[in-house]
Chain A
Amino acid sequence: EDKVVQSPLSLVVHEGDTVTLNCSYEVTNFRSLLWYKQEKKAPTFLFMLTSSGIEKKSGRLSSILDKKELFSILNITATQTGDSAIYLCAFFSGNTGKLIFGQGTTLQVKP
């Protein structure tokens, strides 16, 4: 059964810290991996990764995929209180085409 596991489940840091969120997956026919940020309401799209070793970057956020070891990381540097959210990892199952989400990592950034 296809699945995705995120760690840690929750994390508390202070402003200015750097955090690394982890996502490992087991997928029979992998197509792509996505990261979303969820604040109070709907998840919003951050990155889509399809190739190993190519970093995607947006401001203080960056992400990379390792298709050999079956994981991805999301880095946030110089964290701010506005980064507090649930970060969701998801993948497109090649067999079904469905977007399957992990449990999420709840990040709290304290002033």
Chain B
Amino acid sequence: DAGVIQSPRHEVTEMGQEVTLRCKPISGHNSLFWYRQTMMRGLELLIYFNNNVPIDDSGMPEDRFSAKMPNASFSTLKIQPSEPRDSAVYFCASSLQVRDSGYTFGSGTRLTVV
């Protein structure tokens, strides 16, 4: 089991550019979560999917953020246009069910917007 796989590991981009973060959940897991971590705000839930369907996107900060899950093995988080305040570590996690204790996190994507 390779765990939750995120790419890229690091991303540095200029303000205004589009950024796409990718996640492959653990095979068989039905729920997928995108979190953002900053020093100021800690770990914040942005959006989560259950069976590929977005259930709650209330944590998405602005319309510049969007997420998709076209199939059970792939999800993307897109920021367009990016801004310096989007700089953070973005984590993807998956679990068998939404309330399952076994959230497995990926290694994260460290995004820096300059």
Query: A residues bordering B, Cβ < 8 Å?
Result: 31-32, 34, 41-45, 48, 88, 90, 92, 96-104
In the complex, 30 of the A-B residue pairs with CB atoms within 8 angstroms, ordered by the A residue number, are A31-B99, A32-B99, A32-B101, A41-B107, A41-B108, A42-B4, A42-B91, A42-B105, A42-B106, A42-B107, A42-B108, A43-B43, A43-B91, A43-B105, A45-B101, A45-B102, A48-B101, A88-B42, A88-B43, A90-B43, A97-B99, A98-B48, A98-B98, A99-B33, A99-B45, A100-B45, A101-B35, A101-B42, A101-B43, A103-B42
Residue of A nearest to B43 (CB): A101
Contact with A along B70-90 (1 / 0, CB 8 A): 000000000000000000000
Chain A residues within an 8 Å CB radius of B99: 31-32, 92, 97
Q: A41-B108, A99-B45, A104-B42 are in contact. Are A34 and B101 (CB under 8 A)?
A: yes
Chain A residues within an 8 Å CB radius of B43: 43, 88, 90, 101, 104
Q: Is B65 an interface residue, CB under 8 A from the partner?
A: no
Chain B residues within an 8 Å CB radius of A100: 45
Q: Beyond the given A41-B108, A45-B103, A101-B44, please list 11 additional residue pairs across the A-B interface where CB-CB is below 8 A.
A: A42-B106, A43-B91, A88-B43, A97-B98, A98-B56, A100-B45, A101-B35, A101-B42, A101-B43, A102-B42, A104-B42
Given the complex of chains A and B, what is the CA–CA distance between A102 and B35 in angstroms?
13
By secondary structure, the A interface counts as strand
How close is A69's CB to chain B, nearest CB, in angstroms?
A: 23
Given the complex of chains A and B, what is the CA–CA distance between A100 and B33 in angstroms?
12
Chain A residues within an 8 Å CB radius of B103: 45, 99
Chain A residues within an 8 Å CB radius of B45: 98-101
How close is B62's CB to chain A, nearest CB, in angstroms?
A: 19
